[in-house]
Chains A and B, each alone.
Chain A
Amino acid sequence: MGLQIQHLLGLENVSREDIKAILDTADGFYGVLQRDIKVVPTLRGQTVVNLFYENSTRTRISFELAEKRLSANPLNFTASTSSINKGEGLRDTIRNIEAMKIDMVVVRHSCAGAPYFLTQCTDAVIVNAGDGLHEHPTQALLDMMTIRQKLGRLEGLKVAIIGDIFHSRVARSNAWGMKTMGMNVVLCGPPTLLPQHTDSLGVPVTDNIDEALDGADVVMLLRVQLERQSSAVFPSVHEYRDRYGFDLDRLSKMKKDVVVMHPGPINRGVELSSNVADSENSVILDQVTNGVAVRMAVLYLLGGGENG
């Protein structure tokens, strides 16, 4: 047991054994979250810094809850409350925080590679909570946990991820992580929302939604930033909904037990219709619950020991 990785920077180079260990551990924490007393003393005395350079209340709350339920002390640094706005560089910020004796850093940053950069500045364990267009590994892990919970396995399942692939770190982390776990991922969106060069994602990419949905066990819709309309990425919300929106009509052509996911927040009526979001197939709220369990597992498995 224990992980091969020392930090969670992304899933691209994380082994199948490590992913399985995180998911198995998360299942254990899921049990803790079902109890009346949802706290365990495991990380008592550990300080975890949530360093959020990008606004993301959901992800930060999920991490903070995970930390509290492990009895760690969370410390929140967000763009509006720290010296981040005063022009202090990331290296100085982390060195200052480290000087206050902390154990782990959860970082969300608009620059890809910022979590890796932090590993070069500090000895603390770094957990990536989303970096630029790069990765969002805990989201992909909670997605896999949720799928395994619903369908009992990962291997061999077909997952269609639909939407703004280009700007999605969730799509990247899922593509790599799910491929490692033996799943068949298809990325799909209008060509303007797909990367120009996709071979390095290691999974098929298409603009044909029917092809992507054909035989899928899981459909994951990604949020479409409506403001992208102004940068000529797609002509209208109406056209996007017609061509790529997932609604009851499309759902009716899927397998009966198809799992419908969304990393949130949802644009209801754009990428996902309300009646599908609230249908029996939707596991969107399970994803939120499992997010806490997965983050507990990651913090638990990476924390602790002083050195390697």
Chain B
Amino acid sequence: MVKKNIGTVTYPLTNGMRAEPLVIINGRVIDPEQGIDGTRAVVLDGGAVRAVAENVPPEYSGAGVIDAAGCWVVPGLVDMHVHLREPGREDKETIATGTQAAAAGGFTAVACMPNTAPVLDEDSKIRYVIQRGEDCPCRIYPIGAITKGLEGEELAPMGEMVDTGAVAVSDDGKPVSNSSVMRNAFNYSKSFNIPVICHSEESTLSAKGHMNEGLVSTRLGIRGIPVVAETIAVSRDILLAEYTRARIHIAHVSTAGSVRLVREAKARGVNVTAETCAHYITLTDEDIGMYDTNKKMNPPLRTAVDREAILAGLADGTIDVIASDHAPHTPEEKDVEFDNAAFGVIGLETSLAIALTMLVNKGILTPAQMVDRMSAAPNRILGLAGGTLKAGSPADVTVIDPSVKWTVDPSLFFSKSRNSPFIGMELTGAAAYTILGGRVVYRRG
């Protein structure tokens, strides 16, 4: 057990510990895949969902009970874009602490990016991450590298990695600059029916930049990363995927132009999905204020126009997924001059509350749409079994208290790192229980 002020995470999970039958009653069950939104009882047994019913079936009258009155009961949330830093930078985060943060944030699964040291670019490294995750309170789905060592030159062995458990490929953190290599990656990925997750960035335009190129960067005297550095690359990647008829998933969409490109591509029938992150929904470059390095990430915070376009894209389904791009860094890498600070922010323990506060409570997404963007859609894209409470699905459930108010204080986080862009923000809503395979792995309070 790992106990903090905000709640308790079960860690490590002991192997062979059988999940006792559990019923969740009085909650508002929201499962967009089944079209359910109403008060139901959810019955979990043997690691799977047994039933979603008006009443608890009599054979479960003696089972353990969670009274979810006032709460939402939704399929376990999935964050398909996190950096767990293990192996290599265990000083920032480990698979253990990252998954604890995930459980506390309401996530029952995360997909972790391969830019570790060493890079996850072959089956043995994928296997290492999966094994390290076995006793963790959240499922881990590794994403393999597109190219060996993220060098952008030679393809990594996609087949071996997928056979070992990789669910997608990405060179996230770096673009694959060579269009021919990228074309080959798209083509090759088709054999495995996995998405190629694109970190779309034209490096010759973004080089030396540390924040969005705009009025604020001019004022602060910081070299900028123009929106076209992203949109040119998104455009190239979509065109290559369209030409090769491969699956493409655009990571961390930050610009209005990218939203438009994805929308147009979807209308043409391109097999494209896209994600944005909690911080692009919430913040703009103005929030950097006096060189706040906790607001520095790549792609950078953009302008209000971009933020509005992203909100519209989430609402109309152009953007399929909300992820965190959880990127832990040590204070030594953040408590420095802005130009010298590392790119990246943490988000596992704030994403759900951001989605509730900034999207649901502001009427941009319905609760069912939010559940889709944070559970059903990432499961679909990565080909996972979760994302719904259909009978027989994994017993991964998040019980959300949509009304609890709290203030972001990273010193209370389960994550090892503190580089949150939301420090001090008042948010509404949090995971009350996170249930993994039928067992409660996080309980708030």
Contact = CB atoms under 8 A, between A and B. Distances in A.
Interface in B208-222: 213-222
A112 B339 contact: yes
A134 B220 CA distance: 6
Contacts of A199: 215
B221 A196 contact: no
Interface string A129-150: 0011111000000000000000
What are the 6 A-B residue pairs with the smallest beta carbon separation, nearest first? A134-B221, A113-B291, A111-B337, A112-B221, A200-B215, A133-B221
A35 interface: no
Contacts of B223: 133
Interface residues of A, number: 26
A120 to B, nearest CB: 9
Contacts of A112: 220-222, 291, 338-339
A122 to B, nearest CB: 14
A117 B291 CA distance: 8
B257 to A, nearest CB: 15
B291 A116 contact: yes
A61 B280 CA distance: 46
Given A89-B336, A134-B221, A113 B290 contact: yes
16 contacts: A89-B332, A91-B335, A109-B337, A111-B339, A112-B220, A113-B291, A113-B337, A117-B338, A132-B339, A133-B222, A196-B226, A197-B213, A197-B214, A197-B217, A197-B218, A200-B215
Contacts of B215: 197, 199-200
Contacts of A111: 337-340
A110 B339 CA distance: 9
Contact of A90 (B213, B226, B336): B336
Nearest to A118: B337
B284 to A, nearest CB: 14
A172 B222 CA distance: 12
Contact of A117 (B213, B220, B337): B337
A204 to B, nearest CB: 14
Interface of A: 12, 89-91, 109-114, 116-117, 131-135, 169, 172, 195-201
Nearest to B212: A197
The residue among A113, A116, A132, A133 with the most chain B CB atoms within 10 A of its own CB is: A113
Contacts of A89: 332, 335-336
B218 A200 contact: yes
A12 B221 CA distance: 12
B429 interface: no
Nearest to A116: B290
Contacts of A110: 339
A114 B221 CA distance: 11
Given A134-B220, A172-B221, A197-B217, A91 B336 contact: yes
Given A112-B339, A113-B222, 13 more contacts: A89-B332, A111-B337, A111-B339, A112-B221, A112-B291, A134-B220, A172-B221, A195-B218, A196-B218, A197-B215, A197-B217, A200-B215, A201-B218
B224 interface: yes
B113 to A, nearest CB: 27
A169 to B, nearest CB: 6
B218 A113 contact: no
Contacts of B218: 195-198, 200-201
Contacts of A197: 213-215, 217-218, 224
Nearest to A172: B221
Contacts of B224: 196-197
A113 B214 contact: no
Contacts of A117: 291, 336-338
A135 B221 contact: yes
A135 B337 CA distance: 15
Nearest to A194: B218
